[in-house]
Amino acid sequence: MQRIDCTARLCQIAGPIALIFLAAVSAAAQMAPTRTWEELKAETQRRVDKNLGPVGGLKSEDAREALSNIHSLDRDEWAAAWSAIGDRYEKRAKSEDAARNNDAARDDYFWAFRYYTAARWPVPNSPGKQKAYQSALAAFRDYGRYLDPPVEQIHIPFEGKDIPGYIRIPKAAGPAPMIFMINGTDSRKEDEIQGRDSLFRSGIGVIAVDMPGTGEAPIKADEGSERMLSRVLDYLATRPDVDSKRVVTWGVSYGGHWAAILAYTERARLRGSVVQGGPVHDYYTPEWQKKSLGTPEYLFDLFAARAAIYGVTTPDEFYAFNPRLSLKSQGLLGKPSAPMLVLNGEKDSQVPISDLYMLMESGGSAKWSWVNPDGGHTGRSEEWPGARISEEVVTPWIKARLEPATAIAKNKM
């Protein structure tokens, strides 16, 4: 007998397809041209004030100061203004660190990291942004020393290079089940390894590396680049404090692409895979890219961020390269996979909602879906900000997947 588990927004059928349609596919939004500096300045301050990505959580007064010192779309001017704020917090943190004022040092290293991240965003493609990125890495590693559980830096050998990453293992009896976090186009492993407090309280650890083509990853994104991520699973199997038989991947935005691929290629080693706003097939078509690159949902420099993942520079190179990453073209759709939770927003203008439906309708193994009818990229909306989606949708699903095998078998009876 099939068992169906449903809430108002999440449904699973232990069969070839599991899908809820919460709203009809909306008409494609009209895409805006590149913002002028004055428009970008106003939009950046608005997002800071309303706690919206990618600058959500920054302080309004700090943003006003930084933005008042920028007068053009020059990337180094942007980097310098935000880095000046970061420098101030870092200087104060080092003084507090020396005085063993641990709580204050932790907080100020965190703020330094956040402002250096704003300075390098979305991609370190100028000298000033490259410097800001290195400053962000240093500030985060100082911040990570004060977290509980602490952030452990790791370096995983890979094809003559290494894969830099972080791991956090909670204090618990026995080896810890793990979440393998995979970042998106403009986020980084540093963003994905922090927070997650409810997971740690449940005895679940977290590991994060930069996805191919971003941050400190040793290779660019291409067909077959998931081998780098498979190497991370190899590494987990070597650690006595990790239960490598209880691992779930969680890919956010473009990271969802890799989480979906791993669900197929590494299904024997994964308990599940969360595909949150991940590209599947339609995203990789020139038609979608030409439409989506001007979306006002993205703050600025979207083409530069997307092209950097592949290491290409011109639109023609980018459009020609994209299709090789399609899961459909790679022949993965419909094959057996680890269980998947696939989620996004109906109004996502960066990754088409059709990709979610294609993945769900492709058959294969059991899948769950969650669609926010008012949501944009990764499902976020005013009612459902990213933190709420994580806590109320993704985390409970992950915890259920990471139960000991005996408990999962009992729940299926």
- Both tokens of 341, joined, read 């939770």
> What single string gives the DSSP state of each residue in 219-246?
S---TTTHHHHHHHHHHHTT-TTEEEEE
State the CATH class of domain 4-30+149-412.
alpha beta
Q: What is the CA radius of gyration of the chain?
A: 21
CB distance 168 to 151 below 8 Å: yes
Instruction: Check residue 32 and give its pLDDT.
Output: 47
How many helices (H) does the chain have, and how many strands (E)?
16, 10
Grouping H, G, I as helix, E, B as strand and the rest as coil, residue 182 is strand
Strand order in the sheet with 242-252: 4-6, 11-13, 367-372, 340-345, 272-276, 242-252, 176-182, 205-209, 161-168, 152-158
CB distance 401 to 247 below 8 Å: no
Instruction: Check residue 297 and give its pLDDT.
Output: 94
**pLDDT digits over 264-320, tens only?**
999 999 999 999 999 999 999 999 999 999 999 999 999 999 999 999 999 999 999
Instruction: Check residue 407 and give its pLDDT.
Output: 52
Instruction: Check residue 196 and give its pLDDT.
Output: 86
Could you tell me how many residues make up the chain?
413
Instruction: Check residue 406 and give its pLDDT.
Output: 55
Residue of 380, 378, 333 lying closest to 360 (CA atoms): 333
User: Could you list the mean pLDDT of each consecutive 10-residue stretch along the chain, which spans 413 residues?
Assistant: 35 35 32 79 97 94 98 97 98 97 97 98 97 98 95 97 97 90 97 91 96 98 98 97 97 98 97 98 96 94 96 95 96 96 97 97 91 96 94 96 70 47
Half-sphere exposure of 187 (CA within 13 A, CB side): 22
The C-alpha angle with vertex 398 and arms to 397 and 401, in degrees rounded to 5, equals: 90
d(CA 66, CA 83) in angstroms, rounded, equals 9
Residue of 389, 310, 379 lying closest to 351 (CA atoms): 379
The DSSP secondary-structure symbol of 350 reads: S
CB neighbours of 3 closer than 8 A, spacing ≥ 6?
14, 412
Instruction: Check residue 2 and give its pLDDT.
Output: 28
Structurally, at CATH architecture level, domain 37-146 sits in Up-down Bundle (1.20)
Instruction: Check residue 33 and give its pLDDT.
Output: 56
Half-sphere exposure of 222 (CA within 13 A, CB side): 7
Tell me if 4-30+149-412 shares its fold with 37-146.
no
Which is it for strands 367-372 and 11-13: parallel, antiparallel or unpaired? Answer: antiparallel
N- to C-terminal Cα distance for the chain? 9
Grouping H, G, I as helix, E, B as strand and the rest as coil, residue 250 is strand
Residue of 255, 292, 249 lying closest to 270 (CA atoms): 249
Domain residue ranges in the chain: 4-30+149-412, 37-146
Instruction: Check residue 6 and give its pLDDT.
Output: 34
